[in-house]
Amino acid sequence: RVLIVEDEFLIAMDIEDSIMQAEDEADVIGIANRLDDAIALGRSADVAFVDVNLADGQTGPEIGRRLSENGVVVIFMTANPEVVGNLGVGAGVISKPVPQDAVEQCLSYAIAKRAGTHAVTPIGMLPFD
């Protein structure tokens, strides 16, 4: 179950499309564009793709922290990777724009991390562990 936290509708739709086309079985449970919605939807998520700057400001790091505390594997997707690089939150960060194959690779990575199996780091992603 994948949550997309992104305030730009077209980008969110592209990410959702990439997830739906991925070989890994995953369902998008929702798209959130602000902290409150992301936390509410995150209660039933296993994986979350989180942008840093959202409709309510730079709340992505806080969303990532809260979701991670609840066992969600968080992958930050942002044009500002330096903002989350040293927070100690999430599984990693990848810079926008993110090509479709990179979204699919990040999904595979997150699923493997959640399962506790070997995860191949996607090209262009900076892992945090």
pLDDT in tens, 3-38: 999 999 999 999 999 999 988 889 999 999 999 999
Q: What is the pLDDT of residue 111?
A: 95
**pLDDT tens for each residue of 34-52:** 999 999 999 999 999 999 9
Mean pLDDT of the chain: 93
The model carries a pTM of: 0.95
Question: Is residue 91 within 8 Å of 75, Cβ to Cβ?
Answer: yes
At how many degrees (to 10) do helices 35-42 and 60-69 cross? 20
Q: What is the pLDDT of residue 30?
A: 97
In this structure, the number of other CB atoms found within 10 A of the CB of residue 91 comes to 25
In this structure, the number of other CB atoms found within 10 A of the CB of residue 34 comes to 15
